[in-house]
């Protein structure tokens, strides 16, 4: 059944002007879908996880449930909702979709002549975390267009054990050795490891399996290779610098020849062959796709920001526990860095730039009931809503991160 007057919206799902993909639904069509007994005929989309609904309710909830007992930060703001694609949990994140979504939002704000506070409760661990990637630079540029405040959650990797940093220093003695131990838990289907370093640094790398089998990783040339240790095949990719960064990635993808990666301690040994800076960082995927026992033994909680919260000009939002007045242990933190002549140089400010309540936050679930949620995803809309309220005071109010 389609409500009276809604038929005119039934077949006008076209990509927005200037875009080859996507579908744009205007307010009239969305309102018609909300009144309809068959809403997906008009707007064929649903928030299946409830994540976006919970975030939007904190930023802009109108408080109609429970007689206004719970209300969002900016309940009278206009919402522009952009739904990106949904990649599989173990696939590479689609940063191009984020860039396309941001382009659409900025163009729409300019077209409407309205200020815009952008909420990005989204992030991943893939990248060098130094603010130089294409998506980070893109968001830096977007945050300076018109009256636009881009608020990004710092991620929930602070206590996940997914990052290790180390350094040999300049002109290190080749006889030195540093050990990085990775614990892989039971029933871990796959796991990947990123090693990021300066391209000018040369390391010799040995990898040892839980059962003691070992291999020397060939990093003398770029490209792919593979090796089998016990019942696990490791695909190894040695990358090149990009047009945006002098960092080099060495990527390890652990794939079981049976059902699971071999449980136990996998050990990386690094030996400096030639070092200009000698710095390196290891990263695991997000903790949401790993077993709780899969983590580094001696993690480094600094530089646990997720990308794109590492962009220097966005407002990076961490989470604190309002009940105890303490910073949430899971909240990502640190700083984007570049290694210059063996020294770690700050790229902008230490992040997060601000923290908001992010533990046991009351909001709306997908079935319109109240739920409690935790994470920087739910701290970010407090800041996004606040930015929207600030910008309503006039065109002279422009929010910039200095």
Q: Dump pLDDT digits (tens) for 189-234.
A: 999 999 999 999 999 999 999 999 999 998 988 999 999 999 999 9
Mean pLDDT of 121-147: 92
pLDDT at 352: 95
pLDDT at 6: 39
For position 209, what pLDDT does the model report?
98
Question: Which is more confidently placed, 95 or 191?
Answer: 191
What gap in Å lies between CA 54 and CA 60, rounded to an integer? 10
Q: What pLDDT is attached to residue 367? A: 80
pLDDT tens per residue across span 284-328: 999 999 999 999 999 999 899 999 999 989 999 999 999 999 999
If you average pLDDT over every residue of the chain, what do you get? Answer: 89
pLDDT band at 86 (very low <50, low <70, confident <90, very high): low
For range 22-37, the mean pLDDT: 91
345 strand-pairing partners: 338
Q: How confident is the model at residue 13 (pLDDT cuts 50, 70, 90)?
A: low
- Are 72 and 63 a contacting pair, CB within 8 Å? yes
Residue 99, pLDDT > 50, answer yes
Burial 218-228 (b: 16+ CB within 10 A, else e): ebeeeeeeebe
Say if residue 187's pLDDT is above 50.
yes
Q: What is the pTM of this model?
A: 0.90
Positive or negative torsion for Cα 152, 155, 158, 161: negative
229: tokens are 């240790």
Residue 171: count of CB within 10 angstroms of its CB: 11
**Nearest C-alpha neighbor of 313 from the set 344, 340, 339, 349:** 349
* Residue 330 pLDDT exceeds 80: yes
C-alpha–C-alpha distance, residues 22 and 6, integer Å: 21
CA 331 to chain CA centroid, Å, is: 12
Q: What is the structure's pLDDT at 5?
A: 41
pLDDT for residue 396: 67
% pLDDT > 90, the chain:
71
Domains of the chain: 1-45 (no CATH), 50-154+307-391 (3.40.50.200), 163-296 (2.60.120.1290)
Q: Is the pLDDT of residue 138 over 50?
A: yes
Of the segments 175-184, 243-252, 341-350, which one has the largest average pLDDT value?
A: 175-184
Q: Is the model's pLDDT at 338 over the cut of 60?
A: no
What's the average model confidence in pLDDT over 325-338? 87
Q: What pLDDT score was predicted for residue 4?
A: 37
Kindly indicate the confidence band of residue 397, based on its pLDDT and cuts at 50, 70 and 90: low
pLDDT at 93 over 60: no
pLDDT in tens, 56-80: 999 999 888 767 778 999 999 999 9
Question: Quick one: three-class SS letters along the chain?
Answer: CCCCCCHHHCCCCCCCCCCCCCCCCCHHHHHHHHHCCCHHHCCCCCCCCCHHHHHHHHHHCCCCHHHHCCCCCCCCCCCCCCCCCCCCCCCCCCHHHHHHHHHHHHHHHHHHCCCEEEEECCCECCCCCCCCCHHHHHHHHHCCCCCEEEEEECCCCCCCCCEEEEECCCCCCCCCCEEEEEEECCCCCCEEEEEEEECCCEEEEEEECCCCCEEEECCCCCEEEEEEECCEEEEEEECCCECCECEEEEEEEEEECCCCCCCEEEEEEEEEEECCCCEEEEECCCHHHCCCCCEECCCCCCCCCCECCCCCCCEEEEEEECCCCEECCCCCCECCEEEECCEEEECCCCECCEEEECCCEEEECCCCCEEEECCHHHHHHHHHHHHHHHHCCCCCCCCCCC
46 pLDDT tier (thresholds 50, 70, 90)? confident
**C-beta separation of 189 from 291 below 8 A:** no
Give yes or no for residue 247 having a pLDDT over 60. Answer: yes
Written as six digits, the tokens of 247 are 């960092």
Cα 303 to its chain centre, rounded Å, is: 13
């Amino acid at each position: 059944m389609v409500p009276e007057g809604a038929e005119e919206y039934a077949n006008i799902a076209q990509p927005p002007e200037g875009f080859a993909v996507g579908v744009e639904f205007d307010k009239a069509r969305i309102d018609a879908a909300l009144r309809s007994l068959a809403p997906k005929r008009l707007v064929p989309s649903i928030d299946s996880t409830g994540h976006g609904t919970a975030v939007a309710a904190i930023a802009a909830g109108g408080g109609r449930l429970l007689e206004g007992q719970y209300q969002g930060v900016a309940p009278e703001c206009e919402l522009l909702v952009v739904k990106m694609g949904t990649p599989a949990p173990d696939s590479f994140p689609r940063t191009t979709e984020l860039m396309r979504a941001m382009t659409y939002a900025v163009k729409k704000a300019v077209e409407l002549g309205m200020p815009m506070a952008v909420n990005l409760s989204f992030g991943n661990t893939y990248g060098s975390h130094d603010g130089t990637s294409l998506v980070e630079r893109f968001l830096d540029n977007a945050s300076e267009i018109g009256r636009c405040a881009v608020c990004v959650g710092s991620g929930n990797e602070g206590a996940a054990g997914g990052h290790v940093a180390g350094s040999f220093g300049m002109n290190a003695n080749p006889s030195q050795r540093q050990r990085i131990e990775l614990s892989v838990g039971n029933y871990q289907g796959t796991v990947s490891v990123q090693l990021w370093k300066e391209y000018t640094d040369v390391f010799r790398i040995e990898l040892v399996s839980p059962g003691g089998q070992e291999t020397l990783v060939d990093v003398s040339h770029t490209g792919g290779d593979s090796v089998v240790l016990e019942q696990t095949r490791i695909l190894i990719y040695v990358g090149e610098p990009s047009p945006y960064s002098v960092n080099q990635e060495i990527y390890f993808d652990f794939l079981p020849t049976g059902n699971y990666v071999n449980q136990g301690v996998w050990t990386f040994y690094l030996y400096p062959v030639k070092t200009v800076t000698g710095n390196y960082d290891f990263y695991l995927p997000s903790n949401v796709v790993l077993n709780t026992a899969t983590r580094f033994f001696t993690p480094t909680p600094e530089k646990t920001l997720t990308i794109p919260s590492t962009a220097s000009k966005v407002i990076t939002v961490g989470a604190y526990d309002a009940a105890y007045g303490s910073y949430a242990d899971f909240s990502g933190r640190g700083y984007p860095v570049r290694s210059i002549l063996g020294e770690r140089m700050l790229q902008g400010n230490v992040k997060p730039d601000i923290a908001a309540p992010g533990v046991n936050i009351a909001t709306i679930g997908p079935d319109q009931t109240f739920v409690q949620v935790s994470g920087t995803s739910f701290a970010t809309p407090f800041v996004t809503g606040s930015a929207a309220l600030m910008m309503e005071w006039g065109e002279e109010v422009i929010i910039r991160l200095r």
